[in-house]
Amino acid sequence: MSQPDTREFRDALGQFATGVTVMTTATEEGKPVGVTASSFNSVSLDPPLVLWSLAKSAASMRVYEKSGGFNVHILAAHQEEISNQFARPGDDKFRDIDWKPCDRGYPVLPEYAALFRCETKFQYEGGDHVIFVGKVMEYETRNSPVLVFHQGAYAELKSGTKAGGNL
């Protein structure tokens, strides 16, 4: 067994395949903010809670800490470029995207495999990240294949039998 040294630790964590999300929120002035995040996960069904974590070094950290909520877009398989666009630091992440504000003013992207509109319920200290737990107020799902991330690269989802049949 190895001690958690950074490079190898990252590689080991990368063995956990995830989906890819874009988390959006807005500044007090209504400026749209978004980041790509693969740290999304479900937490609770009742109440409906989800979580994700954001690096403390992220330029948008203060906005997520203050805004009171976020929209989770689970990306569809063809949205690799959107994932890259929101992973690049900079002010023009929403360029060429026909987004619309939800009733709380957070951007809703035109395309996604699923959307969860969340109110931030808890924020936890998580080392070099902050963990955000959101209560899902509304959601929508579309029947499209999803983008997968594994070992630092986008991957294809192998379609196959459903685990456990009825899970």
Residue where the block lists tokens 């974590």: 53
User: Of residues 54, 82, 109, 118, which one binds ligand FMN by CB under 6 A?
Assistant: 54
25 binds ligand FMN (CB under 6 A): no
Tally: H helices and E strands in the chain: 3, 12
User: Of residues 19, 26, 37, 116, which one binds ligand FMN by CB under 6 A?
Assistant: 37
Q: Which residues from 117-146 bind ligand FMN, rule CB under 6 A? A: none
38 binds ligand FMN (CB under 6 A): yes
Shortest Cβ 164–ligand FMN spacing (Å) = 27
Compute how many residues bind ligand FMN; rule: CB under 6 A.
18
Residues in the chain: 167
65: exposed, middle or buried (Cβ count in 10 Å: 0-12, 13-18, 19+): middle
Residues sharing a CB contact under 8 Å with residue 94, sequence separation 6 or more, in sequence order: 32, 34, 107
Candidate segments 4-12, 57-65, 115-123, 138-146, binder of ligand FMN by CB under 6 A: 57-65
